C-alpha cells in the first residue's frame, strides 16, 4: 500500500477527519486504555532497549548529533523514564496493592481527599497534562489508607491519557476497591498540548467529574464543591 492509499483508508475510518483533527479534539474511545493483547510479551529491559534505539532514530532524523556529550545519553534516559516513571502505570504489576480497614470510627459521612497533584501525558501528543484530582467516597463499612487514594491517582496518571478516561478509570478503581458506588472524582487539569502548541491557550483548564451513587445529587455535588473550594 502506498502512503496515499494508507492515509485514505485511515481517513475513511475516521469519518473524513484527519488524525490531527481527532487528536486536537481529544476524543477518547473507552474506559480501558487501548493496548495490544501481547503488550507484556516483551520484558521491561527489552522495551527500554527498543525505545532507546527508536528514540535515537527520531533524534537522528531531526538532525541531532548523537555523538554530542549532552545528547548521547538522551535515548537511554527517555527509555528509562517512559518505562519506569511516566508510563509505568501501563504495567498492571505497578498497580497499588490496596489494604482496607474496618471502619472502626463509625465515620459514615463523606471523606474528601483534595488537591492531589498529578502529572500525566496526553495520548494524542505525548506532552504533559498537569492537574489536581479531588476524590471523595462514603464508606461502605471499609476504609482505605489516605495515601492509597493518592497512589491510585498516580497509577492511572502514569499512562498516555485523555482526561475523561483518567477520571473514569480512577472512579472505577475506587468503586471496586471500596465496594461502593458512592465515589466522586473531580479533575482539574492543564494540557500542555493546548497551552504550549495548537491553539496556545495558556489560561484555560479542563474539568472532568464523576459522581457515583449518593454523590450524584445536586445537594451532594454542591457540598463537595464547597469542601474543595474552601
Closer Cβ to Zn ion, 121 or 168, answer by number: 121
Catalytic-residue membership of 193:
yes
Task: Find all residues with CB under 8 Å of 142, minimum gap 6, and list them.
Answer: 100, 101, 102, 103, 178, 179
Q: Which of 122, 149, 185, 187 binds Zn ion (CB under 5 A)?
A: 122
Task: Find all residues with CB under 8 Å of 87, minimum gap 6, and list them.
Answer: 121, 158, 159, 160
Residue 171 binds Zn ion, judged by CB under 5 A: no
Residue 192: CB minimum distance to Zn ion, A: 8
Place of cell 501481547: 38
Closer Cβ to Zn ion, 74 or 196, answer by number: 196
Catalytic-residue membership of 26:
no
Quickly list H helices, the chain.
3-13, 19-25, 44-61, 74-80, 146-157, 163-178, 192-195, 218-229
User: Catalytic: which of 122, 154, 161, 173?
Assistant: 122
Residue 124 binds Zn ion, judged by CB under 5 A: yes
Residue 200: CB minimum distance to Zn ion, A: 13
Closer Cβ to Zn ion, 25 or 68, answer by number: 25
Residue 163: CB minimum distance to Zn ion, A: 10
Residue 124: CB minimum distance to Zn ion, A: 4
Catalytic-residue membership of 123:
yes
What are the cell numbers at 4?
496515499
Task: Find all residues with CB under 8 Å of 1, minimum gap 6, and list them.
Answer: 9
Number of residues located near Zn ion, criterion CB under 5 A? 4
Residue 144 binds Zn ion, judged by CB under 5 A: no
Stretch that binds Zn ion, among 54-62, 81-89, 119-127, 178-186 (CB under 5 A): 119-127
Secondary structure of 178-207 in the HEC alphabet?
Answer: HCCCCEEEEEEEEEHHHHCCCCCCCCCCEE
Q: Three-state DSSP class for 147?
A: helix
Could you give the residue numbers annotated as active site?
Answer: 122-125, 163, 191, 193
Please report, as ranges, the residues that interact with Zn ion according to CB under 5 A. Answer: 122, 124-125, 193
Amino acid at each position: 500500500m502506498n502512503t496515499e492509499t494508507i492515509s485514505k483508508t485511515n481517513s475513511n475510518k475516521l469519518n473524513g477527519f484527519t488524525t490531527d483533527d481527532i487528536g486536537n479534539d481529544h476524543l477518547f474511545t473507552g474506559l480501558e486504555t487501548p493496548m495490544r493483547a501481547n503488550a507484556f510479551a516483551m520484558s521491561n529491559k527489552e522495551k527500554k532497549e527498543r525505545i532507546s534505539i527508536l528514540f535515537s532514530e527520531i533524534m537522528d532524523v531531526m538532525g541531532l548529533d548523537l555523538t554530542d556529550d549532552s545528547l548521547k545519553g538522551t535515548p537511554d534516559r527517555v527509555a528509562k523514564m517512559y518505562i519506569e516513571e511516566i508510563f509505568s502505570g501501563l504495567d498492571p504489576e505497578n498497580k497499588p496493592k490496596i489494604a482496607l480497614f474496618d471502619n472502626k470510627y463509625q465515620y459514615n459521612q463523606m471523606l474528601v481527599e483534595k488537591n492531589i497533584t498529578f502529572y500525566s501525558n496526553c495520548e494524542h501528543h505525548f506532552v504533559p497534562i498537569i492537574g489536581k484530582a479531588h476524590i471523595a467516597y462514603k464508606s461502605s463499612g471499609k476504609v482505605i489508607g489516605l495515601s492509597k487514594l493518592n497512589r491510585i491517582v498516580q497509577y492511572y496518571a502514569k499512562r498516555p491519557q485523555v482526561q475523561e478516561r483518567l477520571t473514569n478509570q480512577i472512579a472505577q478503581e475506587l468503586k471496586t476497591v471500596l465496594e461502593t458506588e458512592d465515589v466522586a472524582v473531580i479533575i482539574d487539569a492543564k494540557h500542555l498540548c493546548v497551552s504550549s502548541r495548537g491553539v496556545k491557550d495558556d489560561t484555560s483548564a479542563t474539568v472532568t467529574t464523576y459522581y457515583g451513587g449518593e454523590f450524584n445529587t445536586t445537594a451532594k455535588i454542591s457540598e463537595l464543591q464547597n469542601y474543595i473550594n474552601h
